[in-house]
Amino acid sequence: MKLKSIIVAASALAIVACQSNEMKPQQGYIGPSNLQIQDGHMTPEVLLSLGRISDPQLSPNGKTILYGVSYTDIAQNRSVRNLFTVPVEGGQPTQLTMDGKSISSARWAPDGKAIFFLQGGQLYKAAYNGKLGKREQLSDLAKGMDDYLLSPDASQIIYVSTVHSAVEVPADTDPLLDKAEAYATEDLMYRHWDHWRTEINHSYVASLENGVVKEGTDILGGEDVLFELPNGPFGDIADLCWSPDGKYIAYACKPLTGKQYAFSTNTCIFIFCPASGETTQITFQGGYDTHPVWSPDGSRLAWLSMERDGYEADKVRLMVGDVAFSDEAGVAVNDIRDLTADFKYNADGPVWAEDGKSIFFSALAEGIQGVFNVVVEAEDPAFFRLTADNLWFDFGSPFGVLQDGTLLTTYASMDFPTELAAVNDNAVRQITFENEHLLSQLDKHETEARWVETVDGQEMLTWVLFPPQFDPTKEYPAIEVCLGGPQGTLSQGWSYRWNYLLMCHQGYVVVLPNRRGTTAFGQPWCEEISGDYIGLNMQDYLSAARMIKDEPYVSGVAACGASYGGYSVYYLAGIHGDMYDCFIAHAGIFNEEHMYMTTEEMWFPNWDNGGIPMEFAYTEGQVGASGDGVTFGGLQQAGSPWSKKAEAVRHYANSPHKLVQNWHTPILCIHGGCDFRVPYDEGMAAFNAAQLMGVPSKLIVFPNENHWILKPQNALYWHRSYFDWLDRWMK
């Protein structure tokens, strides 16, 4: 058993941002919290009062970091993000803005003498000489821009906006019906995540040489092209990248629509030439190809890639190819190779070294997210872990490399949110201390990393957090957290929703098992959950529960989880006997048959519900069911409720809704009304079933929230309700 005290790498005194005497807060400005914590006790109010650092950018001279911090006002039910700088060696940050409306996507001009940023959907520029000068609005686009990317010399810009999709609204057929509200469609993917797809992303190229952004050139060819760029719902500007000379744009796009889009993850890499308007497709088959990045000299292109179509949790490979240019053939990428063929884990966030000889990237490895480096030209690529595995932090991808080899990155843990940090020789130097004035008031606690034996003799990493002032001679209730995904990892990351520090501060022992399906332990461990939701991963939860219940200081165990974790709660409620004393399911899947026919991304249930290997084909005009019950409407749906594949039949026969006759443990069901991934009637159905079975139960629906609960007062109510339910049945 490995025991480690809580680590908060911070200075003894809080460092408060310097605010210029010339700068005054604008109306609506929200600044850092001055909350005083009297008893050392973490509360939901403390959690929501923490400043949230994001999007660090290293200045061209390598001396200053530009970043944003969001602060929340619970009473106003809103957050505002403003800009700061800090020297790379650390010290007192300087606050650049005190606006009442959020500022995002701040970027340095190539000479470091100006800063570009977005506010209200438009692009601005301001001179910089240690503080911001007068702002100049550079765009006035009718639909605004969601994000942008400057060319290396800042003479051009890529910006993201929207075009009308194939989903019809009444005004499309009659302009006089502009007050009517309806959505009409004759194909799939008419909604995504939390919105009806009346608009989709397109990206544009425009000149910046005259200092004003006018309507740009659509990279995809025009609003009649109904592909997305960046891909929804979470694709961002990182799916596009300028070549170093500014002559080409590499981008990732899924060139599909309708049912094909809904059932496929086949996202490809393309290269676009703004001068000629020509587009070259680089990859063709497989799953997600995303995040293209050019080498510093433009001779190579790297990107992230999944091999199998329809499987969103396939191994994420780091690919690289040699770029060739010719007058006859244009641009091509040759000798494409997988640098991570012998690397056990998923690659993320690739960043080229300045000399172009190696690539930095992050990866979740054995429950910790570290930073790695791989040499591109090596015959047998060797991987160097630049953050030691005994550092219990999750590190982000580097955003800068100093001359002495120091990496500039972000890091966090279960005990503190994201801060800027420098890493060299496995030593971590924290640069910002945004929340030290609050975190230093909290009582300390302890965390263990336990390796729990599973029913088939394997070892499962399980984090255990203990309450402050833990006394092993006393009894405490325990919370077992059921991971969502179903693929993902319970690592040292910080969450403002499922916050484990907050849980242990309420007097609970918190148990975090990395069961089958987690992604930080190699692909075989990850894939044991697909098509087998009811199998060994459920036994893993029971193994972790037995482990903690055997401790004399544990009085009982609650199981809580969201999304697939909510599914896990609903399923465990039907099979657990007396293992658990209380349940909480957030956005959980309850009726797998109904879920298949109401969710939006069809590749996910088609693969995970038994369609393994993925069987996908589409023939225009093909209608009707085949004899095996798999093909319908031109789609081979091997994971559907009407499939006759043995894995699918078994999966649906054991849907949680078919086990409610066994329910007897108190359960809280929570759901967002704008959740289109797991529609909110799944939570209603589970609650109704519990009520009909006479099980103590409660339903909470947030009508304007999605899969997550994001608005400050809603989040506060969520946390309070969560602990009220646990305290009611566990204390």
Domain extent, residue 522, equals 446-601+655-730
Q: Is residue 83 part of a domain?
A: no
* pLDDT value of position 613: 60
* pLDDT value of position 22: 65
Amino acid type, 435: N
pLDDT surpassing 70 at residue 630: no
Q: pLDDT band at residue 621, thresholds of 50, 70 and 90?
A: very low
Rounded mean pLDDT, 657-665: 98
Query: For residues 554 and 563, is the Cβ–Cβ distance under 8 A?
Result: no
**Chain segment 679-721, per-residue pLDDT in tens:** 999 999 999 999 999 999 999 999 999 999 999 999 999 999 9
Q: Is 303 exposed, middle or buried (0-12, 13-18, 19+ CB in 10 A)?
A: buried
Rounded mean pLDDT, 47-57: 98
Q: Is residue 338 part of a domain?
A: no
pLDDT surpassing 80 at residue 628: no
Q: pLDDT band at residue 4, thresholds of 50, 70 and 90?
A: very low
**Nearest CA-CA partner of 485 in 623, 577, 629, 587:** 587
Sign of CA dihedral 271, 277, 278, 281: positive
Q: Is residue 296 part of a domain?
A: no
Q: Poorest-confidence range of 69-73, 156-160, 565-569, 642-646?
A: 642-646
State pTM to two decimals: 0.94
Cα Rg, the chain, nearest whole Å: 26
Q: pLDDT band at residue 575, thresholds of 50, 70 and 90?
A: very high
CATH value at residue 529 = 3.40.50.1820
Rounded mean pLDDT, 581-588: 98
Beta carbons within 8 Å of 127's beta carbon, 6+ residues apart: 113, 114, 133, 134
**Chain segment 433-442, per-residue pLDDT in tens:** 999 999 999 9
Q: How far apart are CA 4 and CA 420, in angstroms?
A: 23
Q: pLDDT band at residue 622, thresholds of 50, 70 and 90?
A: very low
**Chain segment 186-238, per-residue pLDDT in tens:** 999 999 999 999 999 999 999 998 888 988 999 999 999 999 999 999 889 99
Q: Is residue 24 part of a domain?
A: no
Q: Is residue 464 part of a domain?
A: yes
Please give the tally of structural domains in the chain: 1
**Nearest CA-CA partner of 561 in 550, 573, 551:** 573
**Nearest CA-CA partner of 482 in 417, 412, 573:** 573
Q: pLDDT band at residue 631, thresholds of 50, 70 and 90?
A: very low
Q: Poorest-confidence range of 287-296, 377-386, 586-595?
A: 377-386
Q: Is residue 701 part of a domain?
A: yes
| b/e code 1-20 from CB counts within 10 Å (16+ = b) | eeeeebbbbbeeebbebeee
The pLDDT mean for the chain works out to: 93
pLDDT surpassing 80 at residue 381: yes
Rounded mean pLDDT, 417-429: 94
Q: pLDDT band at residue 425, thresholds of 50, 70 and 90?
A: confident
* pLDDT value of position 637: 82
Q: How far apart are CA 48 and CA 69, in angstroms?
A: 13
**Nearest CA-CA partner of 725 in 544, 367, 415, 477:** 477
Q: Is residue 216 part of a domain?
A: no
* pLDDT value of position 20: 40
Contacts within 8 Å (CB) and 24+ apart, 184-192: 187/257, 187/258, 187/259, 188/258, 188/259, 188/261, 188/262, 188/600, 188/602, 189/257, 189/258, 189/259, 189/261, 189/262, 189/600, 191/600, 191/676, 192/232, 192/233, 192/600, 192/601, 192/676
Query: For residues 682 and 567, is the Cβ–Cβ distance under 8 A?
Result: no
Q: How far apart are CA 667 and CA 725, in angstroms?
A: 9
* pLDDT value of position 624: 35
Q: How far apart are CA 319 and CA 332, in angstroms?
A: 15
**Chain segment 129-181, per-residue pLDDT in tens:** 999 999 999 999 999 999 999 999 999 999 999 999 999 999 999 999 999 99
Q: How far apart are CA 666 and CA 583, in angstroms?
A: 6
Please count the other Cβ atoms lying within 10 Å of the Cβ belonging to residue 339.
22
pLDDT surpassing 90 at residue 552: yes
| b/e code 350-363 from CB counts within 10 Å (16+ = b) | bbbbeebebbbbbb
Q: How far apart are CA 356 and CA 343, in angstroms?
A: 20
Q: Find the helix or strand (DSSP H, E) in which 509 lies.
A: strand 509-513
**Chain segment 323-369, per-residue pLDDT in tens:** 998 877 789 999 999 999 999 999 999 999 999 999 999 999 999 99
- The distance in angstroms from the start CA to the end CA of the chain is 28
Q: Is residue 563 part of a domain?
A: yes
* pLDDT value of position 211: 80
Residue whose tokens read 């490979």? 317
Rounded mean pLDDT, 105-118: 98
Residues catalogued as catalytic: 563, 675, 707
* pLDDT value of position 635: 57
